[in-house]
Amino acid sequence: MKLDQFLKARFKITLLISSISTLILAAFSGSIYYFYKEQILYEISDELKSLAFEVSKAVENPVVDFSIVKNVDIPDDTYLCVYNYEAKMVFYKNKLCDIDRFSQGFSIKGYDVLFGSAIKKNGTLYYVYVGKNLSKVLANLEKLKLILIYATFVISTIILVFSFIISRRILSPIKETFEKQERFTQNVSHDLRTPLTVISTNLYLIKQKGFKNIEKNIENITRTVDYMKNLVNDLLFISQIGEKEKKSVNVNDIIKKQLSILSPKIDEKNLGIVFKEEDKIIIEANESDMEKMFFNLLDNAVKYNYKNGEIIITIKKKTVSIKNTGKIIDKENINKLFERFYREDKSRTSEGCGLGLAIVKEIADYYKLKIKVRVEGMHNEFIVKF
């Protein structure tokens, strides 16, 4: 993935996350404002109704006059007015009412909300109004609205920044996979081009020799074809990991079997084998998968070992450790060892096609085994935890 494509993708992800988050925040803030406003208005309306009912009950008694209303507790920001049927004010408390026509229920006059009710006293109809000024309430609601707007803006900005940072982490595996795929294609091309060139060159030489004294050329072609077959077989094996029948597999026996298979190579280099078998490991797996994994690990330990070197195998507490002498792995390359076609030998002249440890990692991942590499003194160590 090119840098500009990567950045474009990051910007798109950032914009998407930020837009969705902002919409959710705006909806949440709007809901808070709406429900708080409704709650305040409900409380005010309930308060005005209760006061109007209390006043009505107090003055309905025919033996008392309207002065009894003075005993009703009315908050400072609330007022009361009583009118007779001739529109004359009979009583008021806290504030004069500006009533141009009689009405019952709730009504709005400027910044005031009024609740009107009608009562009969001694056969005469009276109108009781209880009102409240909403200026302070509206000012508080306006403050709340501004706070929610600023909070939404600030949180959205923070989310925007974090989204851009997170988008990098989201795209990193994709970018890494893309780069690995690109390297994989390049390496496969290289690994196939080289043997094809060898075959083509030897066929040309065979023709030039008139098919005489061509044993060495045929040997080169045969060896190259075997290499290509192994390469194809390894790629097919990777695609088939875990597909075959599983059963209880004795890991100790598998390691011994692979050591036996590799004994000619071990003898050729005169390697010392130290086998520490402290525990027995049984796993439910496909036997060929386990054989391939430990063959590749042991083959790697043999292949990159020195003459007269040693290999130390330890089986203990559901852990297999394989140590070998040889060229010490550079610490910066440890994380790359399990990549397909990766080789520390940049010239790619070393034995093998670079799929051995990649297959080991694929098998370990499939069976959820932990595998790590470390350098300990003069040894490279591969550790498999079951």
- For the record, the structure tokens of 199 come out as 């075959």
Q: Would you say residue 362 lies in a domain?
A: yes
CA–CA dist 299, 293 (Å, integer):
10
Write the CB contacts of 72 (distance below 8 Å, at least 6 apart in sequence): 51, 54, 55, 58, 80, 93
CA distances (Å), origin 208, targets 3, 25, 114, 221: 50, 79, 113, 16
What pLDDT, on the 0 to 100 scale, is given for residue 348?
42
pLDDT digits (tens, 9 = 90+) for 192-244: 777 788 888 888 888 888 878 888 888 888 888 887 887 777 766 666 676 67
Write the CB contacts of 69 (distance below 8 Å, at least 6 apart in sequence): 55, 58, 59, 80, 82, 91, 93
CA distances (Å), origin 325, targets 32, 307, 329, 333: 69, 10, 11, 17
pTM of the model as a whole: 0.49
Q: How many other C-beta atoms are found inside a 10 Å radius of the C-beta of residue 353?
A: 23
Number of domains making up the chain: 1
Q: Are the beta carbons of 323 and 311 closer than 8 angstroms?
A: yes
Q: Would you say residue 199 lies in a domain?
A: no
Backbone dihedral angles phi then psi of residue 118, each to the nearest 5 degrees: -110, 140
pLDDT above 90 coverage of the chain, percent = 27
Q: Would you say residue 307 lies in a domain?
A: yes
pLDDT digits (tens, 9 = 90+) for 130-176: 888 888 888 888 999 999 999 999 999 998 888 888 888 887 777 77
Q: Would you say residue 290 lies in a domain?
A: yes
Regions of the chain where pLDDT drops below 70: 1-4, 60-69, 100, 180-191, 235-240, 242-243, 340-354
Q: Would you say residue 335 lies in a domain?
A: yes
Q: How many other C-beta atoms are found inside a 10 Å radius of the C-beta of residue 163?
A: 22
Q: Would you say residue 253 lies in a domain?
A: yes
The CATH number linked to 270 is: 3.30.565.10
Domain interval for residue 308: 246-385
Q: Are the beta carbons of 372 and 381 closer than 8 angstroms?
A: no
What pLDDT, on the 0 to 100 scale, is given for residue 236?
66
Which sign, positive or negative, has the C-alpha torsion 354, 357, 362, 363? positive
Q: How many other C-beta atoms are found inside a 10 Å radius of the C-beta of residue 58?
A: 16
Q: Would you say residue 328 lies in a domain?
A: yes
Q: Would you say residue 270 lies in a domain?
A: yes
